[in-house]
Structure formats: C-alpha cells, structure tokens
Amino acid sequence: MSNQTNTLRVGMIFISMIFFIFGFVTTFIITLSDPVMEAFDLTYTQGFLVNSAFFISYAIFSIPAGGVVKRIGYKNSIVVGLLLISVAGFLFFPAIRTESYPFFLGAIVILSLGVVLLQTAANPFVTELGPPETASGRLNLTQALNSIATWIAPLMIVALILPAAVPAIAEGIEGVTGIGIRPSDLLPPFMIIAVLVLLIAIAVRLIRLPVLSQEGAGNYATVFKYRHVLLGAFAIFCYVGAEVGIGTAISSYIVQPGMGGGISRELALKFVGLYWAGAMIGRLFGAISLSDIKKKELKLVFASLVMVWAFIVGYVTLDFSITMALTFFGFAVVNYALMQLGKGKANLVLSVFAVAAASLAIISMLSTGRVALWTIVTIGLFNSVMFPNIFSLAVKGLDRSEVSLASGIINTLIVGGAIIPVLMGVVGDAFNIQLSFIVPVLCYLYILYYALIGSKLQPMGETAAAGPAPK
C-alpha cells in the first residue's frame, strides 16, 4: 500500500509541473494580445485574434487528442505535447523577424496543439490518481499550481517586453507609437519558452510514472449518451470564454480615463497578473475546502496561510503598495467566506461563485474609477474553482475507459476562449469596452444553471425527475 501511495505522490508531483507549464503558456498568450495590438498596430477585434488562434485548436484537436491519449497513454501524450510547444516556440523566430502577423498566428496555433494534448491528458490523469470523492480537491490543487504560472506570465511580459520598448521611444524610431512596442520586442520570451520546454520534455521522457489503466468498453458513442458530460462541456465553453475574455480586456479597459483611476499601461498589466493570481488563491482555498481533511481547525490554519499569501502576492505584484495589497487581501477573505456556503460540495461552490462573478462584472459595468477596476480584477478569485469543479462534475460516474474520451469532448469546448473574446471585441468596437462585459455575465448565468441542474447524472433524453443514471 505504501508503494502505491508513493507512486501516486510521484504522479501528482509530475502532473503539477505539467499544469504549471500549460498554465504559463496559456496566460502568456492571452496577456500578449494587448502588446501585440501595439506592435502590429491592430484593432481590438484583430488583436483578440491572438486568443482565437490559440483556442481554435481546442475545437479541432481535442476529440482526436482524447483518442491519442487512449492509444499511446498519458505519459507519451504529455511528451508529444511538450515537444509541440517547443517547436512552436522556435517558429516564432522567423514569424517575428519577418513581422508577419499571419505567420505569428500560425505559430500560436501549433503552440496550442501542444497545450491541448497536455490538457487532455493531465485533467483525467489527476481525477484517476485517487478516490472520486476528492477528485475536485486534487484538481483544485493542481490548478492552483497552474495559476502560479498564470500569475507569473503577465509579470514576465512586464519584465521582458515593456523595457525593450523604452529605447525605441528614446531613439525616436519612425512608426513607433504608444509605449513603443515593436514586433522584435516580443521574441525573447518565446525563445526562453522553446528551450526550457524542450529540456522538460527530455526529462519527462526519462521519469517513471504510475501507469493508469484505460481498459474497458468505453467509446465516444457511450460517452455522448451522458447529458452531464455534454452540458459540462458547454459550461467549460462559457467559463473559459468568460475568463479569457475578461483577462484579455482588462489592460485596455482600466487604462481608459475614468475607468481605472488613471493608471499606466505597465501597472495595468500588473493588474492582469493579479487577476490571474486571484485564480491561484481561490484554487488553493478550493483544494483545502474540497479536500479530505477532516479537522476544521486544520483547514482554517491552511486557509489563513493562503490569506497571508494573498497579501504578499498583492504587495509584490502591485508595486509594493500596502493599500492595494490590503484591498486584494479583503477580497480573498470574502472569497473564502463565500466558498464555505458550498459546504464542501463542488456544485454548490460553483453556483455561489457563478453568482459572485456575474455580480462583480455587472458592478464594474455600472461604475467607474477604482470600483470598476477592483470589481473586474477580483473576478479572478471567483473564476478559480470553476474549471476543476465543472470538469470533476462532468466526468463523475464514468469508468476509466471513458474518462480520457470525455476529457477530449470537454476540452473541445475550451474553444470558448477563441469565440467569447472576439464577441467582446466586436461589442467593444461597436459600443465601448465596458459594455462588452455583458458577454461574460451571460456565460456565468449558464454556469449557474449547470451547477444546480445540468450537472445531475442522467442519460440523454431523461429529465431530472427521472433520477440519476445507473452508474
């Protein structure tokens, strides 16, 4: 039994590293849309195509990826995914050197193929590494580590891309506008990603991992019969679309006069980092609340440590401002308090957070200044447990032969990250960027429906009153 436990621990450590990688790459691309708009002189709609190019692969490749994982196994699928990310990273060199935006988008598509394969393998791997009743807690823990990467990614843009733009302004380079970002300024981070991910792929190939059986009669025909899987896939569409759309729009939104209280573009990107850091904090709370820890006192101790971490994150991210750090700390305390209303149940926590996220977006739409800024940025705290909770609810009741296939179906609808931001961009161009947040509000309302009704286990064609599926 101890050997099995140690093997599962090795698996969790390994998979946490993979969550960090695809979390970093995903958020880096999402946050990059604003600098790309400046570098290539694009409109909102054109700039948001960065996200569309990344997330469109989920629609095309996720179901085939589920078949790949079932055929070659979790470990080999992850190695292939890492190699695709590395190859794409190197392709950015010719794309940026030729200053070709279509080539740049093409490299993003290849990058996203690797991320799709990683995510299709990683999520079911975590759910199978222990008891089903604590699957949501394990997913929240790995997603929390994923969110550490999403916090770091915008800071990397601030550290590597924005400083490179300053000399361009000082030298008076012709055609450089705004803060002076040029296509060539985007290159260094991609080269770093390409080299590091290649080294990690080699290391992963040499690691011994637990082998999880996928034997059984499950196929796509059987999986498509589960209503909660399909409705859960659309909930993922709404969640990812809303999260990515908001994350994409924040920096453009809060630098407008009256919106964020007059902050700089650099500080705006740091607030984007805080938005993604909110997901990290919320998922750490989720890992604690939805875990199998029995003692309430111990849970409270862990939660208190996370609150301290929230203050530190806010302090470091926002230019060492105690006032802003305390503001973020206060929202984190509210986040944990609202999580307790869910009483440790994934669907109830999801419903509470959907209401909170929609309410914050509406308040931001109807306000200005620091109220508009903080209410939109702290939605990240309430996005936090949505993906792991939706995913765990969507694969509940499936056997091992069906889980990787269901993961492919669910991940297909991550394409919401390609569609919702563009819809927001269209609304922003037609009216204003503030009004565009009505799109994620509608997404959160559907998630509320899924949490309370759509996640109940029943085959297609049956009503909720007919009872659960015979699993």
Partners of 459 in the beta sheet?
A: 226
Question: Is-contact 12 19, C-beta < 8 A?
Answer: no
pLDDT at 172 over 50: no
Task: Tell me, yes or no, whether 408 lies in a domain.
Answer: yes
Model confidence at 173, pLDDT cuts 50, 70, 90, reads very low
Of the candidates 385, 414, 353, 400, the one whose C-alpha atom is nearest the C-alpha of residue 57 is 414
Residue 420 is which amino acid? I
Mean pLDDT of 64-68: 86
For residues 353 and 330, what is the distance between their CA atoms, to the nearest angstrom?
16
Q: Which range is least confidently modeled, 19-28, 112-121, 350-359, 374-383?
A: 19-28
Task: Tell me, yes or no, whether 314 lies in a domain.
Answer: yes
Give the per-residue pLDDT at 463.
45
Give the per-residue pLDDT at 114.
93
Question: Is-contact 139 282, C-beta < 8 A?
Answer: no
More reliable by pLDDT, 79 or 46: 79
More reliable by pLDDT, 116 or 31: 116
Element (H, E) at 421: helix 416-430
Give the per-residue pLDDT at 5.
58
Half-sphere exposure of 391 (CA within 13 A, CB side): 35
Range of the domain at 154: 2-208+222-460
CA distances (Å), origin 400, targets 287, 299, 387: 23, 31, 20
DSSP 211: P
Task: Tell me, yes or no, whether 431 lies in a domain.
Answer: yes
Task: Tell me, yes or no, whether 470 lies in a domain.
Answer: no
Residue with tokens 């999403």: 150
Task: Tell me, yes or no, whether 216 lies in a domain.
Answer: no
How large is the C-alpha radius of gyration of the chain? 21
Give the per-residue pLDDT at 462.
55
Q: Residues 292, 293, 295, 300: is their CA dihedral positive or negative?
A: negative
Query: Is the pTM here over 0.85, yes or no?
Result: no
For residues 14 and 7, what is the distance between their CA atoms, to the nearest angstrom?
11
Query: For the chain, how many structural domains are there in total?
Result: 1
Question: Is-contact 71 222, C-beta < 8 A?
Answer: no
Q: Which range is least confidently modeled, 137-146, 156-165, 445-454?
A: 156-165
Q: Which CATH number characterizes residue 430's domain?
A: 1.20.1250.20
Give the per-residue pLDDT at 330.
96
Give the per-residue pLDDT at 423.
92
- Which of 60-69, 135-144, 215-224 ranks highest by mean pLDDT? 60-69
